[in-house]
Amino acid sequence: MNLTTDYLGLKLRNPLIVGASPFADNGSVAQQLQDAGAAAIVMRSLFEEQIDAEQRALTYHLETPAESNSEATSFFPAYDEYQLAPELYLKQIERLKKQLSIPVIASLNGCRPGGWTDYAVKFEGAGADAIELNLYQLVTDPDVPGDEVEADMLETVRSVTSSVRVPVSVKISAFHTAPANFAMLLQEAGAQGLVLFNRFYQPDFNIEDLEVEPQLKLSDSSELLMRLRWLAIISPNFRKSLSASGGVHSTEDLVKAILAGAHSVQLVSLLLRQGPRMITLLLEGLGEWMTTHGYDNLGEFRGAMNLQRCPDPAAHERANYQRILQSWKV
Ligand SMILES: Cc1cc2nc3c(=O)[nH]c(=O)nc-3n(C[C@H](O)[C@H](O)[C@H](O)COP(=O)(O)O)c2cc1C
């Protein structure tokens, strides 16, 4: 049974990747994940705001007289609240590279072109095997049109992909007007792969204190469905790698993501809840499913349910929406 896959030009022993999260902060935890079968690990993100804050802190110390007050820096975490300062981040890449045999993917998180993208070069210098560029953004300014936002994103991607030799994947949101077209533009901008999708953390309202409360809820399998649909739509035309991220909690979920066209599948919530052994269990389940269905390798069924190859393409499209709404009778 051959579970190997090509992701971003990296030969992985199987499709399971530990997604961007705190797991790679700790070398012995990363080791356990590798021992359980993880084929690669993505580090938590280094953020545009964090890098800018470091630059500002440096300028402040160099240029500001000791007695003046600094301005409060709004909503962002204070500089020392980030878990890995930029310098430590680079050291952590080096440490993981010495310790692990699987690829280490460093994550850079931001969306506007700027000096912060220079960190991609530093990641490469520290030994990262690939870079995952997360374009997480929430546009709240009513004067900013979508095409301007996407143009900025593409410029950011170009500035990263043109400055490094290691492959760059781009983690995007599902909420673009035309994700299939945006995927092709990212490919033209040099992305070697896409990670579908970012998960938005929805704040809740506290109706007693009238406060907006941030919260981090882990995912469940229902979140996979949106990923399956867009993997199925994007994969027939996208020539580079695709990774499913969000809502993979079982062997069945893993198989579905590959059927939709994924080359790799990222796990975070499942591992936070149930630990590294879930990687071993999912891989065993994948092997059993492949045996039952007569497959020897992943290429034989990758994309078999995508928009081009599935028996009922309309099920992925607007036609299905109409059919489903008509199915309710009262
Ligand atoms: C505690 C925690 C920390 C995370 N940190 C990052 C991060 O630094 N960068 C990033 O791109 N995604 C981050 N994520 C998002 C995950 O990489 C992943 O996209 C999301 O959890 C969906 O996958 P899942 O359903 O397997 O959890 C984080 C998720 C969790 C739960």
Residue 168's pLDDT is 98
148 CA distance to ligand 1 middle (Å): 27
pLDDT at position 245 over 90: yes
The predicted structure's pLDDT at residue 53: 80
Res 237 pLDDT > 80: yes
94, pLDDT greater than 80:
yes
| Helix (H) or strand (E) run with residue 1 in it | none
Q: Is 247 in the pocket of ligand 1 (CB under 6 A)?
A: yes
Q: CB of 171 closer than 6 A to ligand 1?
A: yes
Per-residue pLDDT at 70: 46
C-alpha of residue 20 to centroid of ligand 1, in Å: 5
What pLDDT shows up at residue 61?
Answer: 59
Coil/strand/helix, residue 231 = helix
Give mean pLDDT, residues 144-170. Answer: 97
Span 242-255, mean pLDDT? 98
Q: Looking at ligand 1, which residue's alpha carbon is closest to its atom 28?
A: 21
pLDDT band at 62 (very low <50, low <70, confident <90, very high): low
**Percent of all residues in the chain with a pLDDT value above 70, rounded to a whole number:** 92
Ligand 1 centroid to residue 326 C-alpha, Å = 37
Higher pLDDT, 30 or 111: 30
Whether the upstream peptide bond of residue 200 has omega within 30° of 0, thus cis, is no
Q: Of the residues 16, 17, 21, which should be mutated to test ligand 1's pocket, given the most ligand atoms within 8 Å of the CB?
A: 21
Residue 240 CB–ligand 1 contact under 6 Å: no
- Please say if the pLDDT value at position 284 is more than 60: yes
- Is the pLDDT reported for residue 71 higher than 50? no
Mutate-to-test residue for ligand 1 from 119, 173, 199, 274, highest number of ligand atoms within 8 A of CB: 199
As a whole number of angstroms, the distance between CA 61 and CA 112 comes to 25
Return mean pLDDT, the chain.
92
Q: What is the whole-number distance in angstroms between the Cα of residue 221 and the centre of ligand 1?
A: 15
What lies within 8 Å, CB to CB, of 99 at 6+ separation is: 27, 30, 31
| CATH numbers and ranges of domains, the chain | 5-326 (3.20.20.70)
- Closest by CA to 29, choosing from 262, 279, 197, 198, is 279
Nearest to 225 by CA among 326, 324, 106, 296: 324
The pLDDT of 57-73, averaged and rounded, is 54
Q: Is any ligand 1 atom within 6 A of the Cβ of residue 15?
A: no
Name the pTM for this structure.
Answer: 0.92
The closest-lying atom of ligand 1 relative to the alpha carbon of residue 47 is 8
pLDDT band at 79 (very low <50, low <70, confident <90, very high): low
* pLDDT tens, residue by residue, 20-45: 999 999 999 999 999 999 999 999 99
